[in-house]
Chains A and B, each alone.
Chain A
Amino acid sequence: GAVVSQHPSRVICKSGTSVKIECRSLDFQATTMFWYRQFPKKSLMLMATSNEGSKATYEQGVEKDKFLINHASLTLSTLTVTSAHPEDSSFYICSARYPEQFFGPGTRLTVL
């Protein structure tokens, strides 16, 4: 199957800093990528749809100024958590369609 990578796999940062997470489709081009958030022992919640060459579409309740998404190329989408706070600590997973969704391995963010 298609491969989606994420970097970093784990990040610890101080409160108030910004963190960028990369999502890459390694062997295919993806005009659409998705970003999910998962709390411990919970399901995945869709945060936003990342569209190559246009603005991301955010789900209700997700702050677009807090979670900046940039889909700069057909193989790369980035999620930047701005001014991170401890409540932003979570597991962030991206996916890309080809044609079904393939998921990245996830990024665990811990904000101290």
Chain B
Amino acid sequence: SQQGEEDPQALSIQEGENATMNCSYKTSINNLQWYRQNSGRGLVHLILIRSNEREKHSGRLRVTLDTSKKSSSLLITASRAADTASYFCATDDYNTDKLIFGTGTRLQVFP
């Protein structure tokens, strides 16, 4: 399977805590993106990090990328109940230009 792996599969935390999700992939990439999906809804694009970047910030989000290990992490700081959703990483395959999704992490933030 080309699909990337994410861990943990599920994460439950209290409001105010930080949430860290990890993503590993298999092929060479142009960039890596993180998406959020509320239950039964479409995807919301969160952040894109290019293959020559190592870290990127956007508000309470921090993304790192290690191309040597083919891995990325998404950190959500000071989480809120509204952050409850599924989070997916997606890699833009260098050879095929297709977007390949990771298995996803279901985040539950308790108020």
Interface residues of A (CB under 8 A from B): 1, 6, 34, 36, 41-46, 49, 91, 93, 95, 100-106, 108
Contacts and interface: CB of A to CB of B under 8 A. Distances in A.
Interface residues of B, number: 19
A91 B48 contact: no
A71 B54 CA distance: 37
Contacts of B90: 101
B98 A49 contact: yes
A100 B40 contact: no
B45 A100 contact: yes
Contacts of A102: 45
A95 B41 contact: no
Given A93-B43, A102-B45, A103-B43, A34 B106 contact: no
Contacts of A46: 98-101
B25 interface: no
Interface string B22-59: 00000000000101000011110100100000000000
B42 to A, nearest CB: 4
Interface string B71-111: 00000000000000000101000000011111110100000
Contact of A106 (B33, B42, B102, B106): B42
A43 B41 contact: no
Interface of B: 3, 33, 35, 40-43, 45, 48, 88, 90, 98-104, 106
B40 A91 contact: yes
A43 B101 contact: yes
Contact of B102 (A43, A93, A95, A100): A43
B43 to A, nearest CB: 4
A106 B44 CA distance: 12
Nearest to A108: B40
A27 to B, nearest CB: 16
A43 to B, nearest CB: 5
8 contacts: A1-B45, A6-B42, A43-B103, A44-B101, A101-B33, A103-B42, A103-B43, A106-B40
